[in-house]
Amino acid sequence: MVGSGNELDAPLHSDEDYCSLSPSPLVTEGNMHDELYNRLQQSVEDAEISRREAYEESMKHRKAVKEAIEAARWARASEARYSEEFRLRKEVEEALVKHKEEIENMQYQLDEIKNKLQVAMEQKSSLESQIATSDKTVEDLKQKMFAAIDLLQKFKIEKDNLQVERDNAVREAEELKIKQAEEASSASMSCFFSEYSICEINEATHNFDQELKIGEGGYGSVYKGHLHHTQVAIKVLHQHSSQGPLEFQQEVGILSTLRHPNIVTLIGACRETCSLIYEYLPNGSLEDRLSCKDNTPPLSWQTRIRIASELCSALIFLHSCSPRGIIHGDLKPANILLDNNFVSKLCDFGMCRVLGEDKFSDNNTSLCCRTDHPKGTLAYIDPEYLATGELTTKSDVYSFGIILLRLLTGKPALGIYKEVENALNKGNLKDILDSTAGDWPFVQAQQLVHLAMRSCEMSRKTRPELASEIWRVLEPMRASCGACCSRLIFEEESQMPSYFICPIFQEVMQDPVVAADGYTYEAEALKGWLDSDHDTSPMTNLKLAHRNLVQNHALRSAIQEWLQKR
């Protein structure tokens, strides 16, 4: 659009008007052309101007659109950056909060550490003070100790001098004792040991009459006979056996020099027949009595305890013989004989050994005998002897333990240790005791069972000593059993009241006391019961209210009066 357009849209004038206005038609027409041309030219210019304006406007519009697009893109980028910055700011704030909490915790811990440090410093100061005091005390004690050491050294010198004097005196006494023993042994051999001829042996045994045979084993046969109007037992060793002559020489060499009330007496020997003549013991062996052979009555518990103590006494005697001890090596009930009064006597010394210092054992000072072929009865033989070939005094202790278990239970030797151990673990000690022996005193039976179990330990180091441990238990029991036997006989004759008898020892009470359960016991017996960690009544098995004991003076007076009247 050029110009305002009013001139183009105006109506054309008539010819008359042109004629009247223009003096000349040509002049008028020429003017019109100029005017139109001018108008046209003006319109073209206006159009050009409008076109340029429109182009400029279009360029501005494009620029505005481009700027709008850039603005939108920048706005979106700004929004994304804002979101990222917001997220990062949130994370930073959370991290700051967490860091602040950690700082607070660290501050709390630091405060605690400061408090502890302060306490520690106070304790350190106190300890330093105590250490200073202790150092002073230690210094004083050192001075006293040095003085005591000086005094001790003086005493030690005096003790060493006294020890030397004592050793010299003991050595002289031992030499004198050995000399006296040798003299006594020589005298006893000439007085008690005799050599017999083959004719005397044949006459005594009626030419080895089978009816006179009272025993037989791997070693030979035993006959009953009479020599010089004395009843004897004659053991004839197998001459064809390689061990026969050796056992004969060994028994003669040892038994001819030994005399002990519980070791069988060797009266003499006949070298031609390899015969050994012993005193005759009519009640056979302990094995026969435990098995009640030929319907013989069972041994009482008093007799069994006495036999155990007698066997212990014989072993102590053998082990302490001078100049060197003797190990029996084959202890078993079959080798324990009983006389008319059931006094036991140890026999069969064919496997015994003389003690010597063992140069091959772990302990160079131990005394033992070594062999590559251990012998003995399997159920009674020491397991360590079987394993190592070393026969020691503790080997006899093991066999003694098995025999003691047999005396207590009456059961066979094989497997007896495990059977008694199971009974002890189950608390069934009374059930395992041999009831045919009578009413065992529980405390004494319990002591003996534990003593026997210790004696049967697999390791010989843990087995008790005969003299210092086993004899200390058996010797008082033997004394009480002897007194008990005589009192029981007297009871039958005099009808002694039953309440005079201690429920534990089963003998007349000498010092009766009343316990918390209301029953009266012998003071020594009840103290032994309580000292064995028992807190229950021996009669009712109920727990005792207290451990106080009250003297029963009335019963004691009654017992003394009764004893005086008998």
CA atoms within a 13 Å half-sphere pointing along the CA-CB vector of 70? 6
Residue identified by tokens 């959370």 is 94
CA angle 78, 82, 88 (to 5 degrees): 145
Q: Containing H/E element for 536?
A: none
Residue identified by tokens 């094995």 is 287
Residue identified by tokens 């000439």 is 190
Nearest Cα to Cα of residue 397 among 481, 337, 447, 467: 467
What are the tokens at 310? Answer: 């007698």
CA pair distance 550, 49, nearest whole angstrom: 149
In DSSP terms, 213 is beta-bridged to 223
What are the tokens at 43? Answer: 């319109």
Nearest Cα to Cα of residue 217 among 335, 352, 382: 335
CA pair distance 318, 211, nearest whole angstrom: 35
CA pair distance 154, 149, nearest whole angstrom: 8
CA pair distance 28, 479, nearest whole angstrom: 188
Widest distance between CA atoms in the chain: 220
Question: Which residue out of 150, 330, 339, 439 is catalytically annotated?
Answer: 330
Q: How many CB atoms lie within 10 A of CB 145?
A: 12
The residue type of 518 is G
The residue type of 168 is N
Q: In Å, how far from its chain's centre is CA 429?
A: 22
CA pair distance 482, 490, nearest whole angstrom: 13
Q: How many CB atoms lie within 10 A of CB 321?
A: 16
End-to-end CA distance of the chain: 174
Q: Is 60 annotated as a binding residue?
A: no
Provide the 8-state DSSP code for 542. Answer: P
Contact yes or no for 234/269 (Cβ under 8 A): no
Contact yes or no for 228/279 (Cβ under 8 A): no
The answer to whether 294 is a known catalytic residue is: no
Residue numbers in the known binding site for ATP are 235
Catalytic residues: 330
